[in-house]
Structure 1
C-alpha cells in the first residue's frame, strides 16, 4: 500500500508540475514579451494577402499575435507600459556619456519617483515596433510608438545621418568589437536594429555620447527562468514560452525557415512557430560570447550548432525570426535575424566582430547559396542569407 501511495503521489506531483508550466499565471510572467505590432504579410518581395495554413509564407509575424502593446500617458512626463509593468521617461534629454547617464538617472525625480535607472538592452528592446520603416540612412517611420515617445533624428547640420539617434543601455558587451573597442549595446529606433557602439572614440579616447531613455519598475524584466523539460524542449517560465532545445542543425532561407517551424513536431507538441524578433531576442544571454565563454550568447541549457562560415573561422549561426524588416530599396525583401555568435563584418579586408554577440540585424530573405556570404554596408556586415532556426511555442495561460 505504501508503494502504491508513493507512486500515486509522485504521479500527481509530476502532473502538477507539467500543468503549472502549461498554465502559467499572469503574476509569474515577469518577462512578458510585447508584440512587434506587425499586421501586414509579406513574401520575399512584396505585401501579400494573409497566407493560409499549408501555403508558402504561412507562420510569419502577423500570423501570431501575442501581447498587444498598451501604454498609458501619466501626464507627468512618464509613460507606463501596461504589458511589462515598466514606466518610461517620455522625452529624452540631450545626448550624454555612459557615465553621465548613470549619474543622471540617480538624480532624476521625474513624476515624483526617485528610483529611475538606465535600462538593460532587454528592457529597452521591449519598446521596439516593426511597423517602422527606413531606407538606408533616411528615416521614414520610427520603430517606436510616436504617440507616446519622442524619437529625435540625427542632425545633418553637424555631420550626422538621420539614423544617428541611437539609444544606449546599461548592457555592456562582454567581448570587444572592431579593433578591441569597449562596447555598449543600444537600440536604434530610427532604423530598427540592435548593435554595439564603441564606448569611447577610437581616435581621441574621449567618451562617446548617445541618447538614454530612463526606466523604473519591474526589476525582474529581462530575467529568464529556464527549465529543461527532458524532452528536447526548454521552458522559460518568466516569459511563458517553450523553446526547441537544439537548433535546426542546418541553414535555410526565410521561406524554408517558416515552413520548417510550422511542420515541427517535438516534445509531444505540433504548434511550434518561427519566433518573432522580440521573442528570439529574449533568450540572448548577454553575459556570454564566443570571445569570453567560447560559446554562443545563449544559456547553456540550449544546444547551438558550431559552424565554420566566413573565412572558415569558428562561429555560431545567425537565427531567423518571423519578422520582416522594412528597409532598403525594396523594403519587403529582408527579415530580422539575431546573431548568437559574433555579429561579423569585414573592414579593411579584415573579418571582425563589428556589432557584438546578441546584435539584431537583417538579411535578404532569399538568394543563390553560392553567392553568399557577402559583405554589406559601412561595417561590411556579413550576409549569410541561409540562417538557422530555433522554434518556439506559447504556453497556455
Structure 2
C-alpha cells in the first residue's frame, strides 16, 4: 500500500470509492511502490514539505485487480477485459497477429482480438526493471502472479514487445516509408511504434527500412484480449470553462494548457504540488498511465492531443511531458509521454527522426546536475533516443 498523509489518503479514497464500472475508462495504477532521488537511489518517500514530494508511489490510485479464471484466461475486474494468460512464444508480423487473435478459441471465447494500445498499457506494472545477469534477476513490467511472460532468449532480452492494434497514423517511422503500429514492451517498460512490414503510403509489403532479407519486419509478440471493443480507452472530455478539462470516462480533471515552462523533474513535481487552479489546490504530476490516457492516437497531425479541449504552448518537434513515474531500468530517469515526435536516430543517421511515434512513452534524465547523458543510457543496439532533462508539465487531479 502506498503511504500517504491522512488528508491525502482521504482525498484518494473518496475519488476511488466508486466501482470501476462507474467509469468507462478506469485508469489502473502503475503499481510503482518506491520513491527515488535524482540520481536513481531508492529513498524514503518525502514528506509534503520536502523536495521530490509527489512521486508516483506517494499517491494511491485504483489498484490492479485480476482474477485467474482457471481456463487460460485472466479477468481484469477494473476494466472488465479478459486476457490470454499465456501468449504464444513466437514473434508475429502485424497482420499475422491480427489473424492469430481472430482465430483463437480459448476459455470458451471466440471473440479474441489484438488490444488497443490503451488497453495493452493498462497491464503495465511499473515495479519492473530489466537487469543484466550480473546485477540480479529481472522483473518484467507485468504482474507474473497472473500473467505468463518469457524474456526473449539470447542477447536481446530487452526485446519483449507486444503488438497493439493501434496504427500510427501521423506518418512513417524509422527510415523510409514504414507503416507502424504501437506496442508495449513488457521487458523494458516502453511504448513505441513498431514497423508492421507494410508501406505507410501504399499498404504494400515494405522493401526497405525494417524489412529484413526475407522481406519481413522483425515482428512482435501478441497477448489477445476479449471484451467490448471501442469502450476502454475512449475519452469523454468536458471543458469546465475555468482553465480545466474533466474526462468523465476516467474521472480525472486536467490542467487545460501547460504554462509553457520546461522544468527538470524535481521542479515539475513541485510545480503541480503548488498549483492553485480553478479553486483546487490538490493537483499532482500525473503518473504514466494517467498522462497516456489523454493521448489522441487517432489524430493525423501533431500534437497527439485533442486540441478542441487542450492547449500546448510550445511549437517544435519535442513535446515530451513529465510523469511522476520513475523509469524502472534507469532510476535516474523518469517516464515521459511524447505528444510530439518521439525522436531517435540509428546507424549513419545524423538527424533525429520520428522513430518511436507521437504517443510513445519514453524516459528522460531527471537532472543533468552532477550527471552525464551517455550512449550507455540513451542508446540501445537499435537507436539512440533524443533526451533532455527539461520537459513540459500538465497537472492532474
CA 392–203 in structure 1, closer or farther in 2 if over 3 Å, else same? same
Equivalent in the alignment of 2:203: none
Number of residue pairs matched by the alignment? 357
Q: Please give the alpha-carbon distance, in whole angstroms, between the structure 2 residues aligned to 1:134 and 1:370.
A: 21
In the TM superposition, residue 165 of structure 1 has moved relative to its aligned partner by 2.0
Give CA-to-partner distance per residue, 1:178-220, whole Å, 9 cap, x none. Answer: 1231111110011011111111233443244211000011431
Equivalent in the alignment of 1:144: 142
Give yes or no for contact 2:173–2:353 (8 Å, CA) kept in 1: yes
Give yes or no for contact 1:318–1:338 (8 Å, CA) kept in 2: yes
Q: Does 1:337 align with 2:336?
A: yes
In the TM superposition, residue 52 of structure 1 has moved relative to its aligned partner by 1.0
Equivalent in the alignment of 2:396: 392
Give CA-to-partner distance per residue, 1:48-100, whole Å, 9 cap, x none. Answer: 11211121011110111111111100000000011111100000012222112
Equivalent in the alignment of 1:49: 44
Equivalent in the alignment of 1:9: none
Give yes or no for contact 1:305–1:316 (8 Å, CA) kept in 2: no
Equivalent in the alignment of 1:324: 326
Judging by fraction of residues, say which structure has more helix.
1
Equivalent in the alignment of 1:221: 232
Of structures 1 and 2, the larger Rg is shown by 1
Give yes or no for contact 2:92–2:220 (8 Å, CA) kept in 1: yes
Give yes or no for contact 1:372–1:385 (8 Å, CA) kept in 2: no
Q: The residue matched to 1:100 in structure 2 has which SS?
A: helix
Q: Please give the alpha-carbon distance, in whole angstroms, between the structure 1 residues aligned to 2:324 and 2:336.
A: 9
TM-score by length of 1: 0.85
Q: Does 1:96 align with 2:104?
A: no
Q: Does 1:165 align with 2:160?
A: yes
Q: The residue matched to 1:149 in structure 2 has which SS?
A: coil
Give yes or no for contact 1:305–1:317 (8 Å, CA) kept in 2: no
In the TM superposition, residue 306 of structure 1 has moved relative to its aligned partner by 2.4
Q: Please give the alpha-carbon distance, in whole angstroms, between the structure 2 residues aligned to 1:65 and 1:323.
A: 13
Q: Does 1:263 align with 2:257?
A: no
Q: The residue matched to 2:166 in structure 1 has which SS?
A: strand
Q: The residue matched to 2:107 in structure 1 has which SS?
A: helix
In the TM superposition, residue 332 of structure 1 has moved relative to its aligned partner by 2.3
- Structure 1 segments of 4+ aligned residues over 6 angstroms from their partners: 21-25, 136-139, 369-375
In the TM superposition, residue 136 of structure 1 has moved relative to its aligned partner by 7.4
**Alignment equivalent of 1:40, drawn from 34, 37, 57:** 34
Q: Does 1:126 align with 2:125?
A: no
Equivalent in the alignment of 1:6: none
Q: Please give the alpha-carbon distance, in whole angstroms, between the structure 2 residues aligned to 1:22 and 1:371.
A: 40
Return 5+ residue gaps in structure 2 as ranges: 1-14, 198-209
Give yes or no for contact 2:128–2:138 (8 Å, CA) kept in 1: yes
CA 25–38 in structure 1, closer or farther in 2 if over 3 Å, else same? closer
Return 5+ residue gaps in structure 1 as ranges: 1-20, 308-313
**Alignment equivalent of 1:299, drawn from 298, 306, 314:** 306
TM-score by length of 2: 0.85
Q: The residue matched to 1:278 in structure 2 has which SS?
A: helix
Equivalent in the alignment of 1:17: none
Give yes or no for contact 2:260–2:314 (8 Å, CA) kept in 1: no
Give yes or no for contact 1:306–1:315 (8 Å, CA) kept in 2: no
Equivalent in the alignment of 1:60: 55
In the TM superposition, residue 372 of structure 1 has moved relative to its aligned partner by 8.4
Q: The residue matched to 2:138 in structure 1 has which SS?
A: strand
Q: Please give the alpha-carbon distance, in whole angstroms, between the structure 1 residues aligned to 2:32 and 2:312.
A: 28
Give yes or no for contact 1:195–1:359 (8 Å, CA) kept in 2: yes
